[in-house]
Amino acid sequence: MDARTPPVLLLPAPRTSTAELLARAAAWRGYEVAGRAAHAEGRRAHWYGGPRAAARVAGPLGLGLLEPADDWLTRVPRPLLGRAVRLTTLAEARTLRERVFVKPPSAKLDLLPAAVHEDGTGLPGGLDGAQPVLVSGVVEFAAEYRLFVLDGEAVTGSRYAVHGRLDPAPLDGGSRAFGRTVLDATSAGLPSAVCLDIGRLADGGWAVVEANMAWFAHCYAAEPDRVLDVVLRAAGPLGAVTDRDRPHLRGPGADR
C-alpha cells in the first residue's frame, strides 16, 4: 500500500444525514469518501453504514468492526439500569405472559423492531427462534441522550428524544454527569469506541438505555468531527485493532 494514498471512508447509499456530515468532516481531513467497496480495495478503509452491508465488505476490505457484547446491558449494575434486563432467545420470549420490552441486541436481528409487548404472544412469527433478544421491564423515558465514547470518555453527544419523539439538542449537565457515572462503572466492558444511550426517567431518575456500534449511529446534534473520531476507531483496519478491543470484534477476525 502506497503511504501517499489517502485513506477511504466508505459510505454506502442511500446516505443518511449523519453520513453526509461525516463525509464533509472526513474530506476536510484528507480522506477519500466513496460509496462503493471497489474504491477501497487495497487501501486503508473505514466504514459507516448498516450491519448487513458491513458483513459483505468487512472480510474483503480487512475491516475490524467493534460492537458491544450481546449481554453487555445485562451486566450493567442494577442501580444504573432502573429495571430488570436479561438476554434470552426469541423462542423463550414468545412464552412470556407479562408486559415486557423486547429488542434485538445491537442491530443483529433487524427484522424485529424494539417494542413493548403486552406478552410474548405478540412477537412476530417467521423469525428464527434461536435468535438472541433482550427482554426488560418497561420504563418511561422523559428524555434520551446519545454519547459517543472514545477510550472511556464521552467526546461528544446529543439529546435525541423527548417523551419518545425525536428532538435533538445539545447535552445538558445532568446527562453529562450520569454518562460519566455510567462510564466509570462500565467502560472496561465496552469497546474503546462505542455509542452509549442513556435517559432521564419520567420520575426524574436516570438509566442506561443501551450501547451500540458507533459505525451505525445517528449523530443528531453531536459534533460531527468528534463523532468521526469514534467511527474511525470503531470501524477501521483489522490490523489496527488492539488486544483490548479484539473481544469486541464483529464478523471476520472475531474472537467470539
Q: What is the pLDDT of residue 230?
A: 98
> Regarding predicted confidence, which is higher, 255 or 126?
126
- Tell me whether residue 242 is in a domain: yes
- Tell me whether residue 213 is in a domain: no
> Is 54 in the same domain as 104?
no
Band of residue 104 on the pLDDT scale cut at 50, 70, 90: confident
pLDDT greater than 70 at residue 200 = yes
User: In this structure, how many other beta carbons lie within 10 angstroms of the beta carbon of residue 142?
Assistant: 15
Q: What is the pLDDT of residue 110?
A: 59
State the Cα–Cα distance between residues 37 and 9, nearest whole angstrom: 10
**Could you give the percent of the chain with pLDDT greater than 70?**
94
**Could you give the percent of the chain with pLDDT greater than 90?**
82
> Is 88 in the same domain as 116?
yes
- Tell me whether residue 59 is in a domain: yes
- Summarize pLDDT for 8-26 with one digit per residue, the tens: 999 999 899 999 999 999 9
pLDDT greater than 90 at residue 106 = no
Could you say which of 136, 160, 175 is where a domain stops?
136
Q: What is the pLDDT of residue 3?
A: 59
> Is 49 in the same domain as 99?
no
> Is 89 in the same domain as 58?
no
pLDDT greater than 80 at residue 220 = yes
Band of residue 107 on the pLDDT scale cut at 50, 70, 90: low
- Tell me whether residue 240 is in a domain: yes
pLDDT greater than 50 at residue 165 = yes
- Tell me whether residue 183 is in a domain: no
> How many domains does the structure of the chain reveal?
2
Q: Per-residue pLDDT averaged across 73-77, rounded? A: 96
User: 21 near 59, Cβ under 8 Å?
Assistant: no
Q: Helix 224-234 to helix 17-28 angle, to the nearest 10 degrees?
A: 90
Greatest C-alpha distance within the chain: 61
User: 95 near 119, Cβ under 8 Å?
Assistant: no
> Is 53 in the same domain as 89?
no
- Summarize pLDDT for 223-244 with one digit per residue, the tens: 999 999 999 999 999 999 999 9
- Tell me whether residue 23 is in a domain: yes
Q: What is the pLDDT of residue 252?
A: 45
Enter the pTM of the model: 0.92
Containing structural domain, residue 111? 84-136
Could you say which of 136, 158, 177 is where a domain stops?
136
Please state whether 24 falls in left (phi above 0), alpha (psi between -120 and 50) or beta.
Answer: alpha
- Tell me whether residue 123 is in a domain: yes
Query: What does the mean pLDDT of the chain come to?
Result: 92
> Is 60 in the same domain as 15?
yes
Give Cα separations from 48 to 190, 195, 227, 247 (angstroms).
Answer: 19, 13, 11, 20
- Tell me whether residue 152 is in a domain: no
Could you say which of 110, 136, 162 is where a domain stops?
136
Band of residue 256 on the pLDDT scale cut at 50, 70, 90: very low
